[in-house]
Structure 1
Amino acid sequence: MFELDNHTPRSGSADMEREGTTDENPIHLQGDAAEEFRDLLWSLYALPQEIAMATAESDVIRLSNIARMAHKYQYITTETWALGILLAHFSSKSASSIETPTLVQITEVAVLCEDKSLLDAVRLRWKSLIGKREDLAVAINVLGRLGIRDLEGLAYYGMLFQGRARWDSDPGLTRDQRIRLLSGYYNLTKASEALTQNPPEFAHLPPCSDNEACKEDWASCWKTFTKIENGPGLFSQIVVHDKMDLMGRLMMAVSLMTAFSEAVEGGNQASFSDLRLEFVWSDCVSAALEATIRMSKDNQENLMRFFEDVA
């Protein structure tokens, strides 16, 4: 009744017959692998107890195939069921043991089926992999192909800090991707060098009585919060980031601004006295904190703009 892509077209009047009317003239399924179609048939004809047991890790590939095929042939109920089981698996403790090839397949399904909940779950797994600097070339290729730009940028960012020797030796990277990494190195170096001179802007709050003095003091504070060496007091506890680690330095700035905001709200500015900060701008500290968070988030979500295609 069905025939997959490996069939050879026949000549003669049989080609004019309606597909599926005889075994000699089956319905031709384009682009389907035998295993995928077999898994779809299993979901349609399996016994209830077999379906109920389809939650083990060994069934993740089968469930991915079912979701993909059900989406293609519009078996909506079956698709919803398979996606739900996959999401439940990702929400379990065993999700961390999923191997990268399986993660790739599930990510493809989540994007194909436009399942936001499943996509959010796999995004967390990709972030974990990238954070551990694991399978970065795979992440760059898969996330780029699927259009998940923010995580693609994060993967490039992670690969950048592996060093050029690693880029050149990794067979998973193409020439164009290595060029993007070089572009990223140049652009991030420039952005990092300019970071201390470009504090995020914000609208002054009503209690602020001297906008110009506030702006100057905020600029001075920003230089202090984005420096890359240890210092007195609170700065003795911070992690020193590489000068080019723009995201690390911005996250450090968010942490310091959060601590400073809490100190101001609690009337405990003295805890920052070692930094010799001026407090004219303290009326605007909440606005400055929000602006710092926005800057950090914007750069994290748009890291790919640093890895321009210069071809």
Structure 2
Amino acid sequence: MDDLPGPSKDSAYRDKTYYFEDGSCVLLVGDCLFNVHRSLLSRDNSLFSSMFTLPQGSRVAEGNSDDDPVVLRGDKPSEFRNFLWALYALPPELQIVNSAGADLTQLIDIARISNKYSFKSLETWALDAVQEYVNRRPSSSSPHHSSSSSFFGSGMESLNTNPIQPHPHLALIENTDQLTRLIELAQLCSHERLLNSMIALLRQLMNRSLHYAYLSMALADNLNLRTLRGAAYLEVMQRGTFTGLGSPKRESEDHETEGSIQITPAQQVRLLTGYWHLTRTWERLRSNPPSFIHAPSCSATWHQPGCTQAWVEFWKEKTRGEAVMSLGLADVIGRLKQVQKDYDRSGPTYMAHDCKLAARRSLMECIKTVEERLPDYFSGEGLEEDC
């Protein structure tokens, strides 16, 4: 927000709602003058309370008139107006933030301005309201309800062919600009629950449309979100096609504008790095099945070599199976999960029951390990043996 044009006293106008005649502090935000009460601005050990107590010496304190306002830079009048609404609203008015009629943009503005000027209690209240809004699910009885509804901001078209219109609540959250604001807000305010909710939402959305995967990839890079980076890069690597250094194109969705989404050279390098590491990982796993500890009853008898051999043969057969080979070479997680499905359907015949359970646990642990290290495959840092 710091790139907003600076306030201009020459063209300043008084706000229609929050310029009080009995106000005690004139603030200039953009070209808009607010005249509010110092006592309210001084609440919650805010930055304003510290500013008002600073010694002024012989100089007249700022904020006493329209000609000498306190100038606030980097904010929009609409954002600050929403913040003042939270300061001045009566309890019945505040109840709307916990209802279906809550204004998400207003809540985001309140949280951001509160964070900037250290209104900690108000910031927490607004962030909790945003969290509730994001996690709220529309009623199935709503005429707008659609479990597959989606909304693409920035001119992107919906892939949903269902004639039912997307629920307004979902549409607002899934707008790309709003998604970006929400996840940036969660990180700015260090609100872990909201950040986790937004990452989980983006992971769901990127399965619906590759557009969200590109968005997630950019957000993960810009905000250093490790938990989002791996899933986003994997989705783009598996489903995107690229020309040159940055013109990805959707293979199956011609209705989207070609070249409207671009990747940077650094992102292309990460995609290539991830592909190389993941394909090498699969080659190692294909040749060496996950190890497990044999059951005591198996270890104490002659059966252990046969048990091990049955596991190795099963692994080699299934990793070469048609279902596995139909998946991308770098789709290590997908291939391992397919082997798991084959194992659950009909595991090795000549393995002891307890050893079968141990082998399955080892396979599940291997999948978990690859999933946890997924972000590292695209950076090449901190990689060790996988399973």
Q: TM-score, normalised by structure 1?
A: 0.77
Q: Deviations over 1:140-184 (max 9, x none)?
A: 111222222122111111111234336534443111111221222
Match of 2:207 in 1: 131
Tell whether 2:263 aligns with 1:221: no
Name which of 168, 174, 189 aligns with 1:113.
Answer: 189
Q: How does 1:80-229 map to 2 (within 5 A)?
A: 80-94=124-138, 96-97=170-171, 98=173, 99-132=175-208, 133-165=210-242, 168-169=247-248, 170=259, 171-209=261-299, 212-229=305-322
* Contact residue 228 and residue 242 of structure 1 kept, 8 A: no
Closer, same or farther: CA 225–150 of 1 in aligned 2, 3 Å: farther
Tell whether 2:368 aligns with 1:297: yes
Closer, same or farther: CA 217–115 of 1 in aligned 2, 3 Å: same
Q: Deviations over 1:247-271 (max 9, x none)?
A: 21122233334x26xxxxxxxxxxx
Match of 1:22 in 2: 64
Q: Which of the two has greater strand per residue?
A: 2
Higher relative contact order (CA 8 A, sep 6+): 1
* Contact residue 279 and residue 330 of structure 2 kept, 8 A: yes
Match of 1:46 in 2: 89
- Counterpart CA distance in 2 for 1:240 and 1:46 is 59
Q: Deviations over 1:269-293 (max 9, x none)?
A: xxx3xx7x34235422222222222
Q: Deviations over 1:81-130 (max 9, x none)?
A: 21222122222224543212111111122222222322232122101111
- Counterpart CA distance in 1 for 2:297 and 2:170 is 49
Counterpart residue type for residue 123 of structure 2? E
Closer, same or farther: CA 105–207 of 1 in aligned 2, 3 Å: farther
Provide the secondary structure at the position in 1 that maps to 2:328: coil
Match of 1:9 in 2: none
- Counterpart CA distance in 1 for 2:363 and 2:60 is 65
The number of aligned residues is: 282
Tell whether 2:103 aligns with 1:59: yes
Q: CA RMSD in A?
A: 3.2
- Name structure 2 gaps, 5 residues minimum: 1-25, 32-55, 139-168, 249-258, 382-387
- Counterpart CA distance in 2 for 1:103 and 1:87 is 13
- Name structure 1 gaps, 5 residues minimum: 7-13, 231-237, 261-271
Closer, same or farther: CA 205–143 of 1 in aligned 2, 3 Å: same
Q: Deviations over 1:40-95 (max 9, x none)?
A: 11111123343222345771121112112222323233222212221222222245
* Contact residue 228 and residue 241 of structure 1 kept, 8 A: no
Q: Runs of 4+ in structure 1 displaced over 6 angstroms?
A: none
Provide the secondary structure at the position in 2 that maps to 1:164: strand
State the 1:31 CA deviation. Answer: 3.5
Match of 2:328 in 1: 242
Name the stretch that deviates more: 158-167 or 292-301: 158-167
Q: TM-score, normalised by structure 2?
A: 0.63
Closer, same or farther: CA 15–181 of 1 in aligned 2, 3 Å: farther
Provide the secondary structure at the position in 2 that maps to 1:199: coil
